[in-house]
C-alpha cells in the first residue's frame, strides 16, 4: 500500500481528480500508528474515503493550500502530535532549536498556534468548505483555557480558528461518524449529535441534560470562577459518566458533547491492523520522531494514574482500552521483517505501560467515578491489580524469531506494581525488559507537593526502590533506577525543593536534566498555577512564578554543579537553611567566600535584577 498523496501530482498519479478530505498537519508526514495523522487518514481510507495530506505547508504561500482544490467533504486540520507552542518553546519561553517532527529536526516548519493559522487560511481561501479541527492542540483547547505563553485565558480554539467543528480525544470512531454524516449531505456545523465533538451555536434551548459553565468574561475576570469551571470539566471527562458542557460567550455558546467511548478491543485491533508504511514519506531525509516508535508497540490507551500535571485523562480518558495478544504479535512480526530491525522491540505500552486492563469492572458499565480517583490519595477498594495478561503478551513477544530483547520504556506506574501481590511481573521486568536502568517517576519527595501532583507518598517509592534492588540481587543483575523529578510544581516552595535536594544527596544522584513544571492546557496543575488554588478543594496553593525562585528550585536539584553554587546559596539563605552550607556531612555546598561575595553565575557575569522578572 502506497503513501497517501502529498502533492497534486501524487494525487493525480493515484487516480484522483479530487479527494474527499485534505488533511493539513503541522508535522511531517509519517505513516506510522504512533502519529495521529496516519491513524485518521488510514481509518478514513478503510471506510472508503479518499484523503490527501498537506504536511507542514508554508503558511505564507496560498498556492500550497490551493493545490488540491476544495475537497468533496472537507478539510481536516491538526497542529500535529504535540501542541505547537510546546513544540516551539521551552518552559522558560525560549525558542527551541529542534523540531523532532520535521525533516532533519529543522525548526520553523510550522507556525505558532498552527491549528488557528491553518484553519483561518483555509477559511479565507475556501469560504464555504467544511473545516474540522482535531489533534492534541485542538483537543486540549476545546474550551476556554489558561495559555501560559500569552499569560491569559484564551477562548475556545473553535472560535479563534473559525472552524465548523472540533473533534477531541482519540478520533477513529468520531471521524467515521462525521465523514458518514457529511457524505449524507449534512454540513459540518450540523454534526452536533456526535460524541467527541465541540460545536458553536446561538441556541441551547434544545440541548438536554447539560451543565452550563461560567461564561468566558467571568472566568477571565475571576480566577475562582475559572477554578470552579475547570473542576466541572475535570469531573466530566468520562464517556459514560459525563454531561454535555456549555460555555457561554458574547453572542455564542460553545458546546462540548460527551467524550467518545473507549475503543473496544476489536476496534483497537482494527486501528493497528491498517496498512501503514511504518515510516516517513520518502521525500524526507529523516524525521527524528520515528526513532523511538518505529519498533515499538502500542498495547493500551487511557490512564487512571491521577497525575495532576498530565492531560492524558482529558484527551484519552481514564478507562483503559487494550489490544489483543494476537494483534500485538501480528504487528511485532511485521516489525521483525523490516530491513533496519536489529532485534530489539523498543517498547510495549501506552501512557502507562503496565495498565493492561480497566481499573475496575464497574467502569465498563458506569464509567470512571467523577469525584474519585483510582489510585490517589490511596488505591480505591474496587481497584483490580493484575499484570497477568501483560506478562503473557511479553512472554509471547520474547519468543518470536528475530527478537533479541523486548524493552518497556513508556513508563511503569510503580505504585500499581507495588500493589500487586503477585511478583511475577516485577521479577520478569527485572530479568528481561530493562536496558541497564529503569526510569520511574516519583516526581518529588515532599508530601505536600506529591499530594498536589496526585502522586503516592515517598514511603511507597522507597519501598519500591528497596524491592527493586532485592530482585536485581536475586537475579544477579546490576541495574539502576533513574527517577524522574520535577521542580516548581504548584505546592513546591524552597523548603520542599531543599527536602528534595537532601534526598538526592542521600542517594548520591544528580539528575542530568531537570524537568521544570510546564503549565500546559487542560491540566489540574495548570489551573493551580494560574489561579493559586486547588480546584478540588478551593484552598490556596503556593506557586513559584518568579524566574529567580524557579531557577533556585532547579539549581537545588543540581546542587553539585559549580555553575549553580550561587543560586543554591541564595536559596538556602532565603529559606533560613544556611546550616546546609559548610563541610559537615549533611551540607549541600561548602562555604566559599569568593563565590558568595563575588556573586558570579554560570556565565561568569554578575547577577542583575532582570533575573527576578516574572515569566
For 10-62, write each residue's pLDDT tens digit.
999 999 999 999 999 999 999 999 999 999 999 999 999 999 999 999 999 99
Residue with cell 561575595: 597
Grid cell of 158 as nine digits: 473553535
Please enumerate in sequence order all residues whose Cβ is within 8 A of that of 481, keeping only pairs 6 or more positions apart, or say none.
437, 438, 439, 440, 465, 468
Of 294, 230, 227, 235, nearest to 259 by C-alpha is 235
On the CB side of 444, how many CA atoms lie within 13 Å of its CA?
33
What is the Cα 536 distance to its own chain's centre? Answer: 22
pLDDT for 512 equals: 86
Closest by alpha carbon to 525, among 426, 446, 454, 443? 454
What's the pLDDT tens digit per position in 303-338? Answer: 999 899 999 999 999 999 999 999 999 999 999 999
**Residue 207, CA distances (Å) to 192, 234, 255, 313 in order:** 10, 21, 9, 25
Calculate mean pLDDT across residues 101-115.
Answer: 98
Given a cut of 80, whether residue 277 has pLDDT beyond it is yes
> Is the pLDDT assigned to residue 605 strictly greater than 50?
no
**Phi-psi category of 77—alpha, beta or left, where left has phi over 0 and alpha has psi -120 to 50?**
beta
Going by C-alpha positions, the residue among 53, 55, 26, 57 that lies closest to residue 40 is 53
Q: Left, alpha or beta for 576 (phi > 0: left; psi -120 to 50: alpha)?
A: left
pLDDT of residue 594: 80
**What pLDDT score does 599 carry?**
53
Q: How far apart are CA 59 and CA 566, in angstroms?
A: 45
Rounded percentage of the chain residues whose pLDDT exceeds 70:
97
List the one residue out of 160, 164, 137, 154 whose CA is nearest residue 216: 154
Question: How do residues 474-497 score in pLDDT, each as one tens digit?
Answer: 999 999 999 999 999 999 999 999
User: For the residues 341-366, what does the mean pLDDT come to?
Assistant: 96
pLDDT for the residue 615: 34
The answer to whether the bond into 589 is cis (omega within 30° of 0) is: no
- Is residue 608 predicted with pLDDT exceeding 50? no
pLDDT of 603 > 80? The answer is no
The number of beta carbons lying within 10 Å of the beta carbon of residue 495 is: 14
What does the pLDDT average to over 580-594? 93
Mean pLDDT taken over the chain: 95
Could you give the CA distance from residue 99 to residue 27 in angstroms, rounded to a whole number? Answer: 9
pLDDT of residue 580: 97
Task: Tell me what pLDDT residue 598 has.
Answer: 60
The model's confidence at residue 432, banded by pLDDT at 50, 70 and 90, is very high
Judged against a pLDDT cut of 70, whether residue 498 lies above it is answered with: yes
Tens digit of each residue's pLDDT (9 = 90 or more) over 17-28: 999 999 999 999
Count, residues in the chain: 615
Give me the residue spans of the domains in the chain: 8-197, 478-615
Q: pLDDT confidence of 430, banded at 50, 70, 90? A: very high
Residue 343, pLDDT > 60, answer yes
What is the CB neighbour count within 10 angstroms for residue 522? 22
Q: What is the pLDDT of residues 155-209, one digit of tens each?
A: 999 999 999 999 999 999 999 999 999 999 999 999 999 999 999 999 999 998 9
Q: What is the 3-state secondary structure (H, E, C) of 492-540?
A: CCHHHHHHHHHHHHHHCCCCCCCEECCCCCCCHHHHHHHHCEECCCCEE
For residue 151, CA distances in Å to 94, 136, 143, 523, 607 come to 15, 20, 16, 15, 26
Name the percent of the chain lying above pLDDT 90. 94
Residue 270 makes CB contacts below 8 A (sequence gap 6+) with 46
Residue pair 213/245 in contact (Cβ under 8 Å)? The answer is yes
The per-residue DSSP string of 555-589 comes to: HHHTTTSGGGHHHHHHHHHHTT-GGGBSSSTT-SB
CATH class of 8-197: alpha beta
Alpha carbons 363 and 230: distance in angstroms, whole number:
23
Contact 140, 147 (CB under 8 A): no
Residue owning grid cell 471521524:
175
pLDDT-based confidence at 411, cuts 50/70/90? Answer: confident
Cα(590)–Cα(64) distance, integer angstroms: 61
The helix/strand/coil state of 199 is strand
Say whether 471 sits in a helix, a strand or coil. Answer: helix
Amino acid at each position: 500500500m502506497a503513501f497517501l498523496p502529498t502533492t497534486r501530482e501524487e494525487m493525480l498519479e493515484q487516480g484522483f481528480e479530487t479527494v474527499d478530505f485534505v488533511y493539513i498537519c503541522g508535522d511531517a508526514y509519517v505513516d506510522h500508528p504512533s502519529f495521529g495523522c496516519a491513524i485518521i487518514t488510514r481509518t478514513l481510507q478503510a471506510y472508503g474515503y479518499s484523503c490527501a495530506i498537506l504536511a507542514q505547508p508554508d503558511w505564507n504561500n496560498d498556492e500550497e493550500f490551493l493545490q488540491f482544490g476544495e475537497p468533496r467533504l472537507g478539510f481536516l486540520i491538526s497542529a500535529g502530535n504535540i501542541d505547537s507552542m510546546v513544540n516551539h518553546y521551552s518552559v522558560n519561553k525560549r525558542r527551541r532549536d529542534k523540531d523532532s517532527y520535521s525533516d532533519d529536526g529543522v525548526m520553523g516548519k510550522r507556525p505558532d498556534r498552527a491549528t488557528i493559522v491553518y484553519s483561518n487560511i483555509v477559511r479565507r481561501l475556501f469560504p464555504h468548505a467544511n473545516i474540522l479541527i482535531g489533534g492534541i492542540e485542538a483537543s486540549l483547547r476545546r474550551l476556554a483555557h489558561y495559555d501560559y505563553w500569552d499569560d491569559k485565558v484564551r477562548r475556545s480554539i473553535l472560535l479563534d480558528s473559525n472552524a465548523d467543528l472540533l473533534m477531541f480525544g482519540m478520533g477513529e470512531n468520531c471521524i467515521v461518524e462525521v465523514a458518514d454524516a457529511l457524505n449524507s449531505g449534512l454540513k459540518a456545523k450540523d454534526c452536533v449529535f456526535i460524541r467527541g465533538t465541540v460545536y458553536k451555536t446561538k441556541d441551547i434551548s434544545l440541548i438536554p441534560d447539560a451543565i452550563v459553565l461560567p461564561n468566558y468574561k467571568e472566568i477571565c475576570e475571576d480566577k475562582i470562577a475559572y477554578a470552579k469551571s475547570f473542576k466541572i470539566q475535570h469531573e466530566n471527562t468520562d464517556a459514560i459518566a459525563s454531561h454535555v458542557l456549555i460555555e457561554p460567550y458574547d453572542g455564542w455558546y460553545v458546546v462540548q458533547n460527551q467524550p467518545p467511548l473507549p475503543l473496544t478491543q476489536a476496534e483497537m485491533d482494527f486501528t493497528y491492523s491498517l496498512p501503514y508504511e511504518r515510516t516517513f514519506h520518502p521525500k524526507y531525509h529523516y524525521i527524528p520522531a520515528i526513532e523511538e516508535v518505529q519498533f515499538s508497540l502500542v498495547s493500551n490507551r487511557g490512564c487512571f494514574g491521577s497525575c495532576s500535571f498530565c492531560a492524558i485523562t482529558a484527551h484519552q480518558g481514564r478507562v483503559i482500552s487494550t489490544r489483543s495478544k494476537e494483534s500485538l504479535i501480528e504487528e511485532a512480526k511485521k516489525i521483525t521483517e523490516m530491513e533496519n530491525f536489529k532485534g530489539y522491540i523498543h517498547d510495549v505500552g501506552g501512557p502507562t505501560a503496565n495498565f493492561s486492563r480497566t481499573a475496575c469492572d464497574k467502569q465498563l458499565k458506569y464509567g470512571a467515578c467523577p469525584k474519585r480517583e483510582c489510585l490517589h490519595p490511596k488505591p480505591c477498594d474496587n481497584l483490580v491489580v493484575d499484570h497477568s495478561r501483560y506478562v503473557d503478551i511479553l512472554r509471547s513477544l520474547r519468543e518470536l524469531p528475530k527478537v533479541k530483547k523486548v524493552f518497556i520504556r513508556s513508563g511503569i506506574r510503580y505504585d500499581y506494581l507495588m500493589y500487586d501481590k503477585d511478583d511475577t511481573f516485577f521479577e520478569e521486568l527485572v530479568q528481561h525488559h530493562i536496558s541497564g536502568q529503569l526510569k520511574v517517576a516519583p516526581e518529588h519527595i515532599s508530601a505536600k507537593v506529591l499530594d498536589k501532583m496526585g502522586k503516592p507518598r515517598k514511603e511507597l517509592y522507597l519501598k519500591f526502590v528497596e524491592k527493586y534492588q532485592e530482585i536485581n540481587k536475586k537475579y544477579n543483575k546490576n541495574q539502576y533506577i533513574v527517577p524522574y523529578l520535577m521542580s516548581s510544581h504548584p505546592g513546591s516552595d524552597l523548603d520542599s525543593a531543599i527536602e528534595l535536594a537532601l534526598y538526592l544527596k542521600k542517594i548520591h544522584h544528580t539528575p542530568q536534566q531537570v524537568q521544570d513544571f510546564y503549565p500546559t492546557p487542560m491540566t489540574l496543575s495548570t489551573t493551580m498555577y494560574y489561579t493559586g488554588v486547588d480546584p478540588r478543594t478551593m484552598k490556596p496553593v503556593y506557586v513559584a512564578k518568579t524566574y529567580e525562585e524557579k531557577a533556585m528550585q532547579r539549581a537545588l536539584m543540581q546542587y553539585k554543579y559549580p555553575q549553580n553554587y550561587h543560586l543554591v546559596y541564595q536559596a538556602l539563605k532565603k529559606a533560613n537553611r544556611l546550616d546546609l552550607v559548610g563541610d559537615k556531612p549533611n551540607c549541600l555546598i561548602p562555604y566559599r567566600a569568593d563565590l558568595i561575595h563575588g556573586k558570579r553565575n554560570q556565565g561568569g557575569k554578575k547577577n542583575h535584577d532582570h533575573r527576578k522578572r516574572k515569566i
